[in-house]
Amino acid sequence: MKKLATLTCGVALAAVMSTSDAYAQRITKGPELVSACQSLIDSGSQDGSPGALCKNFLVDMVKTQEQTLTVGEPFRARRLGPNEDETACFQLPKSLPFTGFAGQVIAYADTNPEMKRAPAYELAARALAQSYPCTEEQLRHEPQEE
């Protein structure tokens, strides 16, 4: 009976942990991103750590950009803002350390407190647009949505 109870407890614990890991891998809110990025700066980004979530968030953004753009084109995050009618335009540098990204997200959220309530994607896109803005030329030649 003791073995069965231990096994049941172990299975239940594993289920809870895998559920929380699956949930944790998906940052959706600005405060979650700020917290994860602060953790990355404070403690690094070892697998399974809160800092790894910030790192993974940036990796996912970059992968999305690579899959949707021609090399050298700026990235336009669309449907931002309360009415989903705003765009943030940025061009990622060739190299962006994870701690640099984390610091930019935190700094942007600190200077724009209303963004702490925004979706994580919007917070990150606006932080990157502030740090790596599109040129005036790129902004003038914005492609039309299809």
Is the overall model pTM greater than 0.75, yes or no?
A: no
Give the per-residue SS3 of 64-131: HHHHHCCCCCCEEEEEECCCCCEEEEECCCCCCCHHHHHHHHHHHHHHCHHHHHCEHHHHHHHHHHHH
What are the pLDDT digits (tens) for 39-85? Answer: 999 999 989 899 999 999 988 887 876 776 665 678 888 888 888 88
- What tokens appear for 100 in the block? 């640099």
User: What percent of the chain stands above pLDDT 90?
Assistant: 38
Note the pLDDT tens digit of each residue in 91-103. 878 888 899 999 9
Cβ(98)–Cβ(55) below 8 Å:
yes
At residue 18, the pLDDT reads: 33
